[in-house]
Amino acid sequence: MRRSAFLAFSLILAFGVSGCESCTTRTGPRDGEIPGLDAGPPIPGVDAGPPGRFDAGNFDPFDPANGCGSSAIPTERVPGQLLLVFDRSGSMNRTPGGDEPSAGDPSKWDVSRAAINSVLSSVSDELSMGLVLFPPGNGCDIATSPDVPVAPLSTSRSQIMGALNSSSAGSSETPMFSALAAGYDYLDTLSGPGQRGIVLVTDGAETCEESNRDMFMMRVADERAMNNYLTYAVGLSQNNNDLSTIAYNGGTPRTDTCLPECTSDLCTSNADCPGAGTCDEIFAGSGIRFCSCMSDADCVAPQTCPAGSPIPLPIPIPRLCQGDANCCHYNASEGNFQTEFEAALADIASRFLDSCVFELPRGTDPSSFDPTQVNVGVTFDGEMRRVLGRSSMPDVDSWDFTSPDQTSIIIQGPICDQLLMGSATVEIVLGCPTILI
């Protein structure tokens, strides 16, 4: 997962008082005239700017010869808005190892609630956060509004802690797809700049809408691509393909090499299993099916198939793939449950505090601001400035507006990770046609 640190960024906004006449009168190659340097074809939903823009490889909007910069205005990064979507199903009343708790043994609900309260106590008041407990009752229904609306933690911290302390686990279902969908709908209602995202915390898999899985996973990816919404997933002693794919499609893979379909787990048919694995009931009549294996080829690496024959009980138990799975979501393991869960939450909170979202001042005359004449540059210590193009593709080194009101920008792609890991200067210059990717 991306690691973040609190960095001192310097963001300089240069704006042209005398306009940018040289940007439009300069002779030389224009967009599309130099192979390999072309700024690219128009992107749906992205303003292409004035016609005849210069080729990205030949035009430097930060060059003083272009007359685009004459003054500087400092600005600040914008802390994000985060919605915690937290599972209160009945299995949360079990221990991290999955057992019924005996006297004095804390349940996953107890340990998770304590971990959330601990992390919230140490996170800056600047972060905005809210809470959804799902499901609200004992079934598949989902509330239409959050238990605690998203607000700066100076306001919402005590409300979140109070909601957790006054609630309990016990639902018979885990409608996490519907809970996330409602979360996205709620994020749409928020205003103001800043990265928006959801943190899903659960100890299981979807139980209400399994047949809609593919459609829902597409929505997670669409929310990332279209709205810049990040979706984190945290498993509580739980590695499964639902959580891994949510994290992958939501733009928050734990590592660069993790697998969306990372493990051989719950299944409904043989088609759900890798290799020649079969979908079997572990206990006859239970209705719960897992992928069994006969060799390592039936498992998703690095998991392996244990040697030997199926356990010869009165009803033989098939072999199941074992070992750590290369999943994309965070997972709080049984042995280090509270420590790993707290570390996951703290890392996500830091990601939203030390974000790659910046306010976009509009100069001394905001009424003359032109969103088609914005360019962004990033300079790392000891390196030359990199001029980023604007793009709607979040995985490419680029920038984009965070919302239609164009009050902030997000720097996206791998370069965002570099920004969070080291000192850099980010500059915005107004007055010359936007370079597009």
Identify the sign of the CA torsion 177, 179, 181, 184. negative
Per-residue pLDDT band for 303 (boundaries 50, 70, 90) equals confident
pLDDT at 287 over 60: yes
Per-residue pLDDT band for 257 (boundaries 50, 70, 90) equals confident
DSSP symbol at 325: -
pLDDT digits (tens, 9 = 90+) for 310-323: 555 455 567 788 87
Q: Residue 287 — left, alpha, or beta (φ > 0 → left; ψ -120 to 50 → alpha)?
A: left
Q: Which of 156, 262, 175 is nearest to 213 (CA)?
A: 175
Q: Tell how many helices (H) and how many strands (E) occur in the chain.
A: 8, 16
pLDDT digits (tens, 9 = 90+) for 85-134: 999 999 999 888 888 877 778 899 999 999 999 999 999 898 999 999 99
| DSSP output for 136-178 | SSSSS---SS-SEEEEEHHHHHHHHHHHHHT----BS---HHH
Q: What pLDDT, on a 0 to 100 scale, did the predictor assign at position 285?
A: 64
DSSP symbol at 211: G
Residues 6 or more apart in contact with residue 226 via CB below 8 angstroms:
none
Q: Which of 379, 385, 430, 389 is nearest to 412 (CA)?
A: 389
Q: How many CB atoms lie within 10 A of CB 297?
A: 12
Q: Which of 161, 49, 34, 80 is nearest to 358 (CA)?
A: 80
For all residues of the chain together, what is the average pLDDT? 80
Q: What pLDDT, on a 0 to 100 scale, did the predictor assign at position 283?
A: 62
Angle between helices 153-165 and 108-122 (to 10 degrees): 160
CB contact burial 251-285 (16+ within 10 A = b; e otherwise): bbbbeeebbbebbbbbbeeeebbbbebbbbeeeee
Distance between CA atoms of 349 and 408, rounded to whole angstroms? 20
All domains of the chain, ordered by start, with CATH? 10-77+358-430 (no CATH), 81-263+325-353 (3.40.50.410)
Distance between CA atoms of 225 and 61, rounded to whole angstroms? 27
pLDDT at 239 over 80: yes
- CA count, 13 A, side-chain hemisphere, 183: 35
pTM: 0.72
Per-residue pLDDT band for 69 (boundaries 50, 70, 90) equals low
pLDDT at 188 over 90: yes
Q: How many CB atoms lie within 10 A of CB 36?
A: 6
**Percent of the chain with pLDDT strictly greater than 90:** 36
Look-up of token digits 């299995």: 91
Q: Are 135 and 146 in contact (CB under 8 A)?
A: no
